[in-house]
Amino acid sequence: MVCRHRAKTIHSVTAPLPLINLSVMPSIMITPRLLPALLLLAAASAGGQPDPHLIPKPREIIAGEFASLAREIVIVPGTNEDDRFAARDLADALKMRGLKPTLGAGRGYAITFLRLDSPLAKKNLDQNKLVFTDEMKAEGYAVISAKNETVVIAASAAGILYGAQTVKQLVRTDGAQARIQVAVIRDWPAMKYRGLHGDLSRGPVPTLEYQKKQIRTFAAYKLNVYSPYFEHTLEYRSNPLMAPPGGAMSREDAQALVAYARRYHVDVIPEQEAFGHLHHILKYDLYSPLGETEHGHVLAPGDPNSLPLIMAWFAEIDSIFPSRFVHLGADETFELGLGRTRERVQRDSLGAVYIDFLKEIESALRYTKKRFLFWGDIAQGSPALVKSLPKDMVAVAWGYGSNPNPERLLRTFVDAGMETWVSPGVNGWNRVYPNNDVTLRNIQAMARVGQRLGSTGLLNTSWDDDGEAIFNQQWYGVLFGAAASWQPGESSIEDFEQSYGIQFHGDPTGKIDAAQLKLSAAHALLSRAGLGDGSNSLYWTDPYTGEGQVDAQKIRVVSHDFRVLAESAMVLIAQARSANSLRETDALDALEMGARRLDFIGMKFQLADEIVRLYGHAVDTAGAGGNPGHDLSEIASSINSRTQDLRDGYVLGRELFERSWRAENRPYWLYNVLNRYDLAAQLWIQRLDKVNQARAEYGRTRKLPSAESLGIPRVMPGVVP
């Protein structure tokens, strides 16, 4: 029923796959059912084997042509309840694509799950010399996709689930007829812990239903950790003041999420900041006395009430989250030594005060028998003191730039004999759309070096620093993080860029992939112009302020090419949508919104320049006795004018942003962002009205007021009037 080439004939995906020659097949035990698969694989060799573009790339794969799924699909899960769950998950995914799979025995194209210790699995493995090694047993799997059936073999429930996810990716429904790609796969992960750290404290708080969708999607790409980040957004019965109404996870929601994630083999590891990043607690006068500074950000080590507060939080966490891990945070404690601990820090050093309090926290919570994660940024500056930390703590080394130095971030903890995880980021915070060029290079380097230095986990991060991040814009970085933590060594960015669209959105045209590259190129243009990248601050900046005029001088050089890239991305997205029925449409909406917001940055500065030139010309025309009406109409008419364009841009941006927000988040915090859209639109409405008033004044006096009196610069620096 199942066959596999000997180990020497299966090749890693990092090397070119061999063409299959049936004349040299005596080393392979060919069973009747596998023969069609081998024949298709051989046929594929004549014209080149099509790449299935799997995410993550399997360790070992030989891929062939496609087999038809025109007949009924029967998924045979066996009797294990975990395997039956994996079968139902696969069936649900295929139904979403328009297929009609059934569970259990029957006639049709069979997808069969076999446990390694079952007699049938053993028989087939023996007959076909399939080597299922010890390193595969925890989460690995083998998949044989043939013309008439597909078989998944694994030793564990996680392996069965991950094999089923790979089968999902082998199935194509983008053509006239559903197909499955013939393939022989053997696969297992490089890193034990592969996760996503999600910020729930800087604005967006996802609904429970969206978190469940996140869990399903994480598991689909073989992530096994989700770490929600709390500063003040987990409801504590012992400290009810902290959580904002409507903006926190309840105990019941957290327990429901944990139970849901367990079925997908995703471990929910909570992070409650236990040292720094606690302003939203310390801003209350009930808690402010515990801070290093008044209404500050950092708990003061040595305060008799600091440790009892932490212990109360983590006692409740222990009763909600069964994970053997818990994250203490403890990063960016920048205020330490600036207030109540000033003398102690001056006497003992910043590192000593920090490390001592971290050890106090660990000692106070040791009764929970958890393993404690902590961010490594502060402790890495005190290598001698790090050696005094308990060896079962886990240092999480984070770095988010395009050229991180993982060796430097990890070395202190590796030398101290501590377990480490690496933590890259999706670069979606403070930006109208993630800078994915930076994202992919960051993740690639952190995963590569982390694996080389023995890191057991990769915890990719999604932060919401300014409260405007949309998670549906960040799947690109999330999926590459999944690939880089599963695949050994350095993951190929180019392979991923050619795989994302087909696997996440079901787009066979390559247009979604091309759109992503266009937006990365747009970010790069802004960076070359000295503007960083497509930041939210650039989106909100008034071009007529002092800072806005500085930005205008920089962006002017690239604005046309920048806008063409963003607009081309919009066109590609529309073309991909019209060509196929795509998946993950909310994420496509968020992608399109990102392209539109990037384009608007360029348009805003262009039109602001044009308004200055037009009004200056209008003033000169009026002064010479001419009629400035045309220039004024171009600035502020009832239809099709520059100020209207800028008003309309913010109004449309508001509508699209609110739609994307509500697709994933609770209403909490939303109006903090929508108010910015309203104010920005009002600014251009006011300018429109002032120019119309100037037109009316000209009708009476035949004079135009100065540009400055209307809130418009007389000239823009760097622009010839």
Q: Are strands 419-423 and 457-462 parallel, antiparallel or unpaired?
A: parallel
How confident is the model over 213-252, as pLDDT tens digits? Answer: 999 999 999 999 999 999 999 999 999 999 999 999 999 9
- pTM equals 0.93
User: What average pLDDT does the chain have?
Assistant: 92
Q: Prior bond to 488 cis, omega within 30? A: no
Q: pLDDT class for 550, splitting at 50, 70, 90?
A: very high
Return the structure tokens found at 313.
Answer: 């939080």
Average pLDDT over residues 270-274: 98
Spatial separation of the C-alpha atoms in residues 156 and 143, rounded to whole Å? 14
pLDDT at 717: 83
Spatial separation of the C-alpha atoms in residues 185 and 312, rounded to whole Å? 49
How confident is the model over 683-721, as pLDDT tens digits? Answer: 999 999 999 999 999 999 999 999 999 999 999 887 756
Residues found in the chain: 721
Inter-residue contact 437 to 402 (CB < 8 Å): yes
**From the DSSP assignment, how many helices (H) and strands (E) are in the chain?**
24, 17
Average pLDDT over residues 302-314: 97
Q: Which residue has the tokens 């310390």?
A: 282
Average pLDDT over residues 424-435: 96
3-state helix, strand, coil in the chain (%, to 5): 50, 15, 40
CB atoms within 10 A of CB 346: 11
pLDDT at 121: 84
Q: Which residue has the tokens 């005029």?
A: 549
Inter-residue contact 358 to 337 (CB < 8 Å): no
Spatial separation of the C-alpha atoms in residues 142 and 484, rounded to whole Å? 20
Task: Say whether pLDDT at 491 is over 70.
Answer: yes
Inter-residue contact 389 to 355 (CB < 8 Å): yes
Average pLDDT over residues 476-504: 98
How confident is the model over 551-594, as pLDDT tens digits? Answer: 999 999 999 999 999 999 999 999 999 998 999 999 999 999 99
Task: Say whether pLDDT at 24 is over 70.
Answer: no
Return the structure tokens found at 422.
Answer: 């690496």
Q: Which residue has the tokens 């006239």?
A: 176
How confident is the model over 603-649, as pLDDT tens digits? Answer: 999 999 999 999 999 999 999 999 999 999 999 988 899 999 999 99
Q: pLDDT class for 9, splitting at 50, 70, 90?
A: very low
Return the structure tokens found at 477.
Answer: 């970085």
Residue 593 Cα distances to 199, 586, 658, angstroms: 21, 10, 11
Inter-residue contact 432 to 474 (CB < 8 Å): no
Spatial separation of the C-alpha atoms in residues 249 and 206, rounded to whole Å? 9
DSSP 8-state code for residue 505: I
Element containing residue 694 per DSSP (H, E): helix 670-701
User: By three-state DSSP, how is residue 648 classified?
Assistant: helix
Q: pLDDT class for 405, splitting at 50, 70, 90?
A: very high
Least confident of 71-80, 257-266, 370-379, 692-701: 71-80
- Who's near 140: CB < 8 A, 6+ residues apart? 132, 133, 154, 155, 159, 162, 186, 187, 188, 189
Query: Which of 336, 339, 369 lies closest to 353, judged by CA?
Result: 336
Give me the helix-helix angle, 475-486 and 208-220, nearest 10°: 40
